[in-house]
């Protein structure tokens, strides 16, 4: 009985398949001929165009069109962020931050990117590391970041240089340095003894593994009227004079609470000890 049923079903489905194949050939042409393949290819192209117009469908991923990004202080700040802790690939642009100390700052960046650049951002936390990633999955966005001066791929191998459109504008330079310091900088407290008396100072540093880029940072800070300390053997550019650090936070400021809170805390310690 089972064998008979199987044979009957097999013949039944075979007939259905044969009739369906004949109907498809009559409608779209024999796929085994040059004419049939040409017709099938044209139909596929028309279908893809329709999907793009309608926003896509199951099985097709159509990237949302990205509006052109224009030069601004917010863009200059974001380029500074990418120079610090960012990476640009062909398909994605990402920023890696400390999941504990930078969580609030990550929220600020996510909102800024979405509102100012009109592109979605995914925030994810790494299970085996104290890190979080902000990821923008857009080929068009990656291309625009490269257009505005961010290098694609390995930053150290390709070489970092402050983009000309930023360096020739004091407001853009300040914004760029803010983004760079907020991701790759630190605020520290330094105790000095002068003639047997202790003095506490608040300092700050911009870090990078690229000596050429550090030299450009020092030049940019001098151009804004600050007094950086830097030698080729160092891996950071420092602002050590208290009056210079105060001027930086007053003019350039910081959008990363990790730095602004530490600065205020160290100032309070300085006043209490001094």
What integer pLDDT is reported at residue 162 of this predicted model?
97
Q: Match 């120079």 to its residue by tokens.
A: 83
Q: What is the mean pLDDT of the chain?
A: 84
Q: Does 10 or 202 have the greater pLDDT score?
A: 202
Cβ-count burial of 99 within 10 angstroms (0-12 exposed, 13-18 middle, 19+ buried)?
middle
**What SS3 class is residue 140?**
helix
Spell out the residues 6+ positions from residue 155 whose beta carbon is closer than 8 angstroms to its own. 83, 87, 210
Q: Which domains does the chain have, with CATH numbers?
A: 25-62 (no CATH), 73-159 (3.10.28.10), 183-273 (3.10.28.10)
Please give the full DSSP string across 158-187, using - where no structure is assigned: H-----HHHHT-HHHHHHHHHHHHHHHEEE
Q: What is the mean pLDDT of residues 201-220?
A: 93
Q: Does 265 or 32 have the greater pLDDT score?
A: 265
What integer pLDDT is reported at residue 65 of this predicted model?
79
- Phi-psi label, residue 86: left if phi above 0, alpha if psi -120 to 50, beta otherwise: beta
The string of pLDDT tens digits covering residues 69-127 is: 999 999 999 999 999 999 999 999 999 999 999 999 999 999 999 999 999 999 999 98
What integer pLDDT is reported at residue 5 of this predicted model?
46
Cβ-count burial of 187 within 10 angstroms (0-12 exposed, 13-18 middle, 19+ buried)?
buried
* Dist. CA 97–CA 160, nearest whole Å: 20
Neighbours of 177 (CB within 10 A): 24
What integer pLDDT is reported at residue 63 of this predicted model?
58
* Dist. CA 79–CA 215, nearest whole Å: 18
pTM (two decimals): 0.75
256 near 206, Cβ under 8 Å?
Answer: no
């Amino acid at each position: 009985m089972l064998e008979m049923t199987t044979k009957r079903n097999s013949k039944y489905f075979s007939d259905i398949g044969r009739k369906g194949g004949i109907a498809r050939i009559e409608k779209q042409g024999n796929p085994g001929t040059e004419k049939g393949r040409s017709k099938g290819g044209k139909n596929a192209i028309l279908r893809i165009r329709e999907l793009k117009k309608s926003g896509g469908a199951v099985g097709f991923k159509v990237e949302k069109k990205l509006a052109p990004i224009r030069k601004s202080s917010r863009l200059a700040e974001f380029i500074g962020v990418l120079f610090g802790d960012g990476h640009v690939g062909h398909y994605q642009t990402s920023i890696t931050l400390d999941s504990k100390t930078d969580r609030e700052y990550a929220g600020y960046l996510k909102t800024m990117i979405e509102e100012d650049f009109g592109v979605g951002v995914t925030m994810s936390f790494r299970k085996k590391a104290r890190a979080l990633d902000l990821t923008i999955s857009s080929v068009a966005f990656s291309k625009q970041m490269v257009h505005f001066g961010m290098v694609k791929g390995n930053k150290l191998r390709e070489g970092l240089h402050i983009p000309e459109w930023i360096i020739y504008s004091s407001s853009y330079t300040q914004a760029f340095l803010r983004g760079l310091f907020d991701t790759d900088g630190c605020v520290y407290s330094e105790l000095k003894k002068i003639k047997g008396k202790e003095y506490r100072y608040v300092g700050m540093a911009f870090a990078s593994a690229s000596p050429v880029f550090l030299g450009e940072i020092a030049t940019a800070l001098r151009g804004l009227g600050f007094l950086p300390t830097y030698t080729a053997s160092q891996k950071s550019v420092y602002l050590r004079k208290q009056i210079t650090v105060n001027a930086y936070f007053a003019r350039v400021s910081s959008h990363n609470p990790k730095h602004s809170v530490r600065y205020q805390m160290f100032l309070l310690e300085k006043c209490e000890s001094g």
